[in-house]
Every structure is written in structure tokens, then in C-alpha cells.
Structure 1
Amino acid sequence: MPSGRQARAEAAAIVRTEGPSEPQATPAERLLALFDGRRLSPGQRRIAQYLVDHLTEAAFLSITELADRVGVSRPSVTRFSVSLGFTGYPALREALQPIALSAVAGAGAPEIRTQKRHNELQGAVDAEIANLQSVRRLLADTDLISGIGHDLAHSVPLTVLGLRISGSLAEYFAYAARRIHPDVRVVSHGGSVAYDALLQARAAGGTWVLAFAMPRHAHETLGALRAARSAGLRVLLITDPSVGPVTEDADVVLTAGTGARLVFDSYTAPGMLSAALIQAMADADPERTQARLEQYEQAADQHGFFF
């Protein structure tokens, strides 16, 4: 982690040019570079947003003053500083101050806010496009995807596990998969509730669990995956590319990046991967798929499910 002097040197280095053809970095670019590529919690993103919106003042606040302005604790500010690669808040503040002074000298504070808003939203989309490109490369292995689709299609029942924020992906997958699969069960609670559901699925003849584990990774998810393995179920895990302990208890791991540029993560790439797996399940048993889709459409018409 950089010391205060190192941080000042690094901040100053950003604006050095090697020749007349290279333009100087703006204060906005120098500030945003501190956050780029960092996975911040929602609370830490609030601190980052406050620094962007009030840089010329915030860069000279004490840790207590900054915590009070943002509405977080002092330890939260310290953890935020460390997450950016600094030894603590004093080192971060020393890196921020020359950026703030250059913003004042060039009247750059409004420009920082404007560019941040521009980069914040468009940059989030750009990051998601990169995540989708990664999923596209993964789907190039058609043998792998079709094999997974076959295994999931023929696991009756098929259990879909998603705890906390991952529950939304599990519910989406299960909702669509039920249209083409005779018995899809969702596990959205951890602990003994999850263990009970997994034991019942195995006793009923199930062979696979599809688990979603998106950051922030819950301890309950790890426990549920181990319970699934101990019950004799195989585990397909869809998670983000970061390596963590959850991958150790999965038979197959597919990764899809989450969008981490806004206050809360977005899940475009995991959603696309989920849709592709449902397609592979449909292709694994086309006759059953067609029959179930027709039955569903008849029921939808009969009961007026949709406009």
C-alpha cells in the first residue's frame, strides 16, 4: 500500500507527460483513476460519490468530518481508503489534495461532477459490454454448454439455489425453466431450510443443483453448496470471475462478471448466461420442450394470464 509521499507522487505522476503530443490528465480523470477497477461496497460507493461531488472541500476534511458528511462511520472511511490501496485515510487525503487544488486553479470542480455523471453511466454500460463479451467467448464451447443443458434437463427435480442478492437470478432462471422442465425447485433460504430442501430433492431423484453466487458472497451459500455435495447432488455454480471458496464445492463453475460501476451491482452477463443455459435445456429434450410450451400457452389462454 502506498505511503502518503508515494500517494502524492503517484497522483502527480498521472498528470506528467512524456512529450507535447500527450495531453495532461484533467482533475476529473485523476480522481476517477483512484476508483477505477476497485470493487466497492454500496457504502463505499457513497463515499466515492461524495468525494466527486465535493472534492475541493472534502479533500481537506478530517476523517470524522468526512464520515459525518457522508453519514458513515470512521472505520468505514478507513476501510474505503484501504480498498483503494492506501494505508489509511491520511494517505488518501494527501493524494486527493493536489487534485483538489488543481481543480480549484482550473475551475475544474463542476467539470469533475459533469464528467463523473457522464462516465458513471456510460462507463457502467461499457463494463457490462465487456462482461457480455466474456460470456460470448464462454458460449463458443458448444459441447460444454449443450452437455450442461442435457444434465440440467434430465435432473428431475432440478434445484436452483440463490441466496440474498443471488435470489433474483435464481427466481428468473426457475420461472423460465418451469415452462420446459417438469419439476424445478428454488432454494432461497440458507441454513437448515436449505439442507432440508436439498435432501428432499435428492430423495426425489434429483441429481443436479444450479447455484448462483454473486458478490457479496454469503457464508450461507458456502454452507448450502457443501450440504448439496454431502447429500449426493452435483453442483453447477454460476459466479463472478473472482476466485473464492465457493468454487471449491462445485463440480462445474461458469463465470459471468457483474457490473460494479454503480451503487449496486448489475447482472446483465449472468442473466444472459442463464438464458443460454435454459436454451440448452430446451434443446436437450425438444419433444418435451415443445409439448410443455404448448400446454402452457393453452393454460395461459384459458385463464387469461396475459393481456
Structure 2
Amino acid sequence: MSSLLKIRSERDRMSAIERRIADFILDNAHLLRDYSSQQLANALGISQSSVVKFSQKLGFKGYPDLKYSVGEAIARNGDENGHAARGDGDDDHASLAIDLWNAKANAEEETRLINPGDRLEGISLLLRNADKVFLVGIGPDSIAARGFAIRLSLLGILAIHHFDPVLVPAEVSTSSPSDVLILFSEHGQQASFCQLARLFRERGGRVVTVTRHTANPLRAHADEQLLVSAHDERAHVVPLLYQSALQHLLDQVFLLVCEDEDRRKQLDDNHQQVRHLLDG
């Protein structure tokens, strides 16, 4: 595991000072080679020993080893994410495809590391036993919410997709403690989603949030969290990585729900009916 992956995966379990160091390194990784441990400490207003302890806690001998590892990770990611020389024609297209594949693989690995198996098992159990599952998303998040709702429906789970959070409270007001609300919000900043989560939890329901692996208001209202990590220097590539990593994460949850034999039988029956309708 690269040093940057390790920092991202461990961030939620760090102390406040450690998170400040982690965020600085993740946001300024390409500049880290110019910082000594004392300069990094001065930039953050902390002690030099805090920087050294942070490095050792991650498994490095000290800050120089951490800095060297981060430099290696940047060089490796640069080679993988579009910095390789490209030729013409088919070679150019092949290079583009390989670069994108590698970038997606990195995002999916990071996302897997920050979503432990017991968390995914817990969410899949909630979905198996839910009377109703409400799914809400806006814009691109709505696409993921709708797709996941369709898959849950094929498993025999009553899944209700909403693309407008303003219309949801009336329906949520009839929810029961056995219901689940899944809120898809990449950046987790919508105040309306936070209000929905509060309302739903007041009625005893369980709330699952799907956001980026960043500190955001919506995560504070979740019973369970699905977190996505997707980073790239190219702004136009980042949404592609996010959607790819998110889909892979949802696929894992779907497969866990499918481990229930009754649900899987329902899925097979529904697939047969769909094929019959399409063939007809």
C-alpha cells in the first residue's frame, strides 16, 4: 500500500493533530519534498515531535522515510495517470485507456481500504431486513441512487427512489423504524439532506450516507457511512474516478445482499420475467 493510500485509509482513526498533518500532506504531497519536519511543523503550528510521531505511527522510521515514500507514490501515480508519452493512432488510444484504467483501479483500491468489511456487512443486513428503502440523490448522485434502487427492487426489496429532496419529507413522515434512508451526496453539503436525515432518525429509521471521504455535515447524521475516495490532478478525470469507485462500492454491497438465498431466488425470478417481457 502506498503512503498516500495509507494516510487516506487511516485518517478517520487519527487524532485532531494527526488529521491536520494528514490533510496537509494529502493536499500538498507534491510540495512535501521541500519541507523538513520542522518546516512542516511550523506551517501547521505544531511541534516537530508530532510530525515524527505521525510518521512512526504509519510504520515509517521517521519523517524522511515518509517524505521519500510520498515522493515515490507521486512519481508512480504520475506514470500511471496520464504522464506517459503517447504516440499516434491506436497507440494513443491504448495509452489513454490504460491510464484511465489505472486511475480507476487506484480510486477503487483507496475506496475499498476506507470501507471495512464489517461495515459493508452491516449495511447489507440493514437492506435485507428493511420494510422500505428510500434513496435520494441530486444530479449525478441521482443516477447512482436510481440504479441502486432498481437493483434492490429486483431482489424483492421495496426501494423508492427520489430525485427531489423537497418532496421526500411527506413520505418519510410515514416511515417506520424498520425502514432505511440512503442519501447520495458526493460532498455532503446539502442542508436539506441533513434535515431529511434528522427527520428520519426521529422516527426510528436508519440512515446510510454515501459521500466522499471528507469531513462534511451529512456524515454526522449517519448511522452507517459508505465513503468514496477518488483523486487526480486532472479536474475532468476526477468525476469519472468518483463514479467508477462509487459503482464498485455499491456492487460490493449488492453482492452481500445477494448472499441471502431468498433474495437471490427473487432476483433470478425477476430476471426471468424481465427477459420474457423483452423477448415478447
TM-score, shorter chain, exceeding 0.5? yes
Which residue of structure 2 lines up, in the alignment, with residue 247 of structure 1? 219
SS at match of 1:156: coil
Distance 1:250 1:171 in 2: 20
1:256 to 228, 236, 245: 228
- Deviation at residue 143 of structure 1 after TM alignment: 3.0
Kindly indicate whether the alpha-carbon contact (under 8 Å) linking 2:131 and 2:157 is maintained by their aligned counterparts in 1. Answer: yes
Per the alignment, in what secondary structure is the counterpart of residue 304 of structure 1? helix
Structure 2 residue aligned with 1:128 = 104
CA contact (8 A) 1:120 1:262 kept: no
List runs of 5+ in structure 2 lacking aligned partners. Answer: 1-30, 35-77, 79-94
2:273 equivalent in structure 1: 299
Q: Label 1:280 to 1:125 Cα distance change in 2 as closer, same or farther (>3 A).
A: same
> Equivalent pairs: percent with the same residue?
15
Question: Against the structure 1 CA distance between its residues 302 and 122, is the aligned structure 2 distance closer, same or farther, given a 3 Å change threshold?
Answer: closer
Distance 1:271 1:170 in 2: 10
What is the aligned partner in structure 1 of residue 5 from structure 2?
none
TM-superposed CA distance for 1:270, in Å, is 0.9
3-state DSSP class of the match of 1:265? helix
1: distance between equivalents of 2:164 and 2:120? 28
Offset at 1:241? Answer: 0.9
Aligned to 2:154: 179
SS in 2 for 1:238: strand
Q: How do 1:54-93 residues align onto structure 2 when only pairs under 5 Å count?
A: none
Residue in structure 2 matching 1:231, options 175, 181, 203? 203
Cα distance in 1 for partners of 2:263, 2:96 equals 45
Query: CA, structure 1 residues 138+242, in 2 after alignment: closer, same or farther (shift >3 Å)?
Result: closer
Q: Quick one: distance in 2 between partners of 1:184 and 1:176? A: 9
Could you tell me the TM-score, scaled by structure 1's length?
A: 0.53
Deviation at 1:286, TM superposition (A): 1.4
Kept in 2: contact 1:187–1:197 (CA 8 A)? no
Q: How many residues are treated as equivalent by the alignment?
A: 189
Match for residue 207 of structure 1? 179
Let me know the Cα RMSD of the aligned residues.
3.3
Change (3 A) 1:121 1:279: closer
TM-score by length of 2: 0.58
Q: CA deviation at 1:121?
A: 8.4
Output one character per residue of 1:145-204: Cα deviation in whole Å (capped at 9) or x when no partner: 22221111111111222123311110111111111133111122112x11112223x14x
1:227-253 Cα distance to aligned partner (Å, 9 max, x none): 222332111112101101111111112
Q: Could you give the per-residue CA deviations for residues 115-141 of structure 1, whole angstroms, max 9, x where no partner exists? A: xxxx998766544332211123245x4
**Separation in 1 of the partners of 2:144 and 2:192?**
17
SS of 2:173's partner is helix
CA distance in 1, matches of 2:224, 2:188: 20
- Once residues 272 and 305 of structure 1 are traced to their aligned partners in structure 2, the CA distance between those partners, rounded to angstroms, is 30
1:222 Cα deviation from its structure 2 partner = 2.4
SS at match of 1:178: helix
253, 262, 280: which one pairs with 1:277? 253
Match of 2:64 in 1: none
Letter of the 1:181 partner, please give it.
G
Residue equivalent to 1:9:
none
- Alignment partner of 1:182: what SS? coil
Equivalents in 1 of 2:185, 2:108: separation in Å?
A: 18
- The one of 163, 166, 173 equivalent to 2:138 is 163
